[in-house]
Amino acid sequence: MIKNEDWNNNPKEFTYKQDNNSTPQKAKITEIAEFSITNSIKYVRFTVDIDRSSDNINELSINPAPEFKNEQLFLKVLLEGKATLFSYEGGNLQRYFYRVDSSNVEQLIHKSYADKSTILKNNEFRNQLLNNLPCPTIFFADIQKIEYKEKDLISFFTQYNQCHSSKWLLYNRQDKKGDQFNLSFRPGVSISGLSINNSSSTVDLENKATIRFGIESEFVLPFNKNKWAIIIEPAFQYYKSQIVSGNNKTIEADYKSIELLAGIRYYFFINDQSKIFMNGQALYDVPLNSEVNYESREALKINSHFNAAFGFGYKYKNKFSVEARYKLSADLLGEYIFWAADYKTFSVIFGYTIF
């Protein structure tokens, strides 16, 4: 009973239970030789030489050779067979390792380095594949096309094991299943209020319930069990209200806009059909012929502005959702020195995922 966190970075420890009723415990890398979860994830502890040279352009080494350090690591098994492929990921570092039969585990060497103003690459891993994993049906020209990427390396190791009639097992595939992109129609009801201030008075317009419409694009990130997503949503919203002042003059706001929202969403899974989520978004508001008419003076134009919004919601069968969202207050008259219009909105948004 290992807690599956779908680790983006290779772990140094994990949480497990002996049974359903026992207390969760921590297992550290110094205590565990390997652990796996139903053939979907497997990590094995090795003491290996690893090159941690940065691929960041501003931090490139001038040395083309790998600069190894001996470390104890949990390596992730990608493909297991006569030739086994491993990976290690930590922050921006991505390294691949291999072994044939019971030989020592070695890093496949790939390094970016600087030569004056030029960025070059040490692609020694291609020679390692050519010399240490020979196969009559794999040619030099084929190996020269291989990039230092998981997909390319898995394809090579699959072909090598097939070439030697070796049984092989591909791990980590089912973690990637599920929709990685969702498009949803998002109508909702907003309750909004506006408070107009100048140097001499404050006027509160009536809270209004209005309809909003949005289309959301959701990009599910392929790690941590699909719990994280990037969301982008253009939406139309409007607010219109007026009051009559004590001197029988009308104060009116007519506000329509397109909101451009982008942010991060995090899911908490309840079961296979239900999940709750939280999201935070930055938004840029673009008014459409919107203004505030304050008594008999010239109309005040409502300005574009940045803002933020926070939501909490529930999703059922990856199809239907409902979200409560609160937008921080925003000054709609930010370009005026002596005027301010404090606008607040709370929305209930319903969602239907088209695909």
Contact 228, 266 (CB under 8 A): yes
pLDDT recorded at residue 56: 86
pLDDT recorded at residue 8: 80
pLDDT recorded at residue 296: 65
**What is the per-residue pLDDT across 268-290, written as a single tens digit (0 to 9) for each?**
988 778 999 999 999 999 999 99
Counting Cα atoms < 13 Å in the Cβ hemisphere of 348 gives: 3
Structure tokens at 2: 């290992």
Topology adopted by domain 178-353: Porin (2.40.160)
pLDDT recorded at residue 174: 47
Cβ atoms within 10 A of the Cβ of 180, count? 13
Sign of CA dihedral 189, 237, 278, 274: positive
Q: Please give the backbone phi and psi of residue 307, each rounded to the nearest 5 degrees, phi first.
A: -160, -175
Query: Helix, strand or coil for residue 163?
Result: helix
Residues in the chain predicted with pLDDT less than 50, given as ranges, are: 174-178
Q: Report the residue count for the chain.
A: 355
Please report the DSSP string for 11-37 in residue order: PSEEEE-SSTTSPPEEEETTT-SEEEE
- CATH 2.40.160.20 in the chain is located at 178-353
**What is the per-residue pLDDT across 42-101, written as a single tens digit (0 to 9) for each?**
999 999 999 999 888 888 989 999 999 999 999 999 999 999 999 999 888 999 999 999
Contact 260, 292 (CB under 8 A): no
